[in-house]
Amino acid sequence: MGRASAQERSAASPRRREEWDGGSRRGRVLFQFLLLALIAPLPAIAGDSRLDAAIGKALFERPWVPAPSSTRANDGLGPLFDARSCSACHPGSGRGSTALDARGRPEGLGLVLSLFRDDGAGDPVYGHRLETMTLSGVPAEGEIGVSVEAGRRIPHADAPGYGPLDPATHISLRAAPDLRGRGKLGQVEDATILALEDPDDRDGDGVRGRARRLEHAEGGSLIGRFGWKASHATLASQASEAFQLDLGLSTPLRLEPWGDCTPAQAACRAAPHGRDAEGEPEISPEIVDRIVFYLRSLKVPATEPDRRGAKLFAAAGCAACHRPSLPTGEGGSVALFTDVLLHDMGDGLADSGGVPGAGAAEWRTAPLAGLARALARGDGLLHDGRAADVAQAVGWHAGEASAARARFEALDDAEKRALIDYVSSL
């Protein structure tokens, strides 16, 4: 499905207005379920885990609506946003669509434009994200445009509604990641991640991964483990950022009711929002808790064991970063194929600039679990969806992954095919 123009989004078709107001049958059923769940005080997370997960799933899939709404429990969307529900960008809690149309526009809602400066701040006018949807009366920010040069996706902001971006602002195209099983990374202790660091390459294998240390106000673990750049230590932090940037909804960790609107966007700041009282977030801590509980409950995608493929995977050096499993503090393990560390992947995969704590070419090792589903859906791989398959993704690996790529390329055809099939089956 192609993206509508900014004007079309702003006005919204009657069908879209109906969906926003809960007019569709699916919307009414979901709304009634959530109303029952939200009218009464929510029980503690330690209650019925199946109920908590079911409520979290419903909240993850629910469409939010603009304020003011007849029911305050489901409004506050925007004023600027990229989607109306979490599941719109993460269908089935998986990876978002990365397809482009003939004009270089995203065909679905799985790609976003991240805006940042060298100090980590957002653009002074557009903030941290170029939101592509808007409410009536609020000027649109623009459209995502993508040019493809030598296989590389070059993002740009088309039809910017508030003038050109600041020259010091960097733009990065990011795909909505697979969320299935990722919440289990919260069970991996900081000490386990830190023990994997080798920033000085003491073993001489060329792999120097390092943990990203964060200074998050919410406390808890300060070791980043979620996000493309390991920019979040907790699921609550990651979910709160998504509420703010993708949906324009405030949470206890991000209280701004206008989402990503900057002071330069006066109409956006002045638009209606869904707070019940001054200082109250639009998304209550109970809602955040339920969504986090749901994300933690998602199972790691299962794979069929392939010993030959696993041996080739290890021999090529892929497992040096894409560790098949990590131990948890509870005595179990998480089989996501990541070490959660930042690695320099070379200039080909680099952003135009870095941020404090993560360089332009540094990326957290992306978990490979769930790759089979992404490939079956035709979703591109890597952080911006540029790679159509595993072989193309490996071809973009450089920097610390150069030796592993060279070993992969040195395999004979049968071994290479076996290794590709193994990774594609994860």
Residue 95 is predicted with a pLDDT of 97
pLDDT tens digits, 312-345: 999 999 999 999 999 999 899 999 999 999 999 9
Percent with pLDDT over 70 in the chain = 86
Q: Which whole-number Å values give the CA distances from 147 to 103, 117, 152, 254, in the listed order? A: 9, 22, 8, 33
Query: What is the C-alpha separation between 325 and 330, in angstroms, rounded?
Result: 14
Q: Could you tell me if 231 and 212 are in contact, meaning their C-beta atoms sit under 8 angstroms apart? A: yes
Residue 25 is predicted with a pLDDT of 37
What is the Cα 263 distance to its own chain's centre?
26
Residue 273 is predicted with a pLDDT of 85
Query: What is the C-alpha separation between 390 and 30, in angstroms, rounded?
Result: 38
Query: What is the C-alpha separation between 125 and 105, in angstroms, rounded?
Result: 23
Closest listed residue to residue 213, CA positions, set 196, 240, 186, 190? 190
- Name 176's Cβ contacts closer than 8 Å, sequence gap at least 6: 89, 90, 95, 96, 109, 110, 111, 112
What is the Cα 333 distance to its own chain's centre?
23
Residue 324: CA atoms inside 13 Å, Cβ hemisphere, count? 15
Cβ neighbours around 377 below 10 Å, total: 16
Residue 73 is predicted with a pLDDT of 67
Beta pairing partners, 120? none
Residue 130 is predicted with a pLDDT of 98
> CA-based angle 96:309:426, to the nearest 5?
20
Residue 375 is predicted with a pLDDT of 97
Residue 383, Cβ density class (10 Å: 0-12 exposed, 13-18 middle, ≥19 buried): buried
Residue 218 is predicted with a pLDDT of 53
Enumerate residue ranges in the chain where pLDDT < 70.
1-48, 70-73, 216-221, 276-278
> How is the chain split into domains, by residue range?
6-97+232-297, 111-175, 182-213+300-424
Query: What is the C-alpha separation between 61 and 59, in angstroms, rounded?
Result: 5
> CA-based angle 370:389:375, to the nearest 5?
40
Closest listed residue to residue 157, CA positions, set 168, 148, 170? 170
pLDDT tens digits, 372-387: 999 999 999 999 999 9
pLDDT tens digits, 16-33: 333 333 334 344 334 434
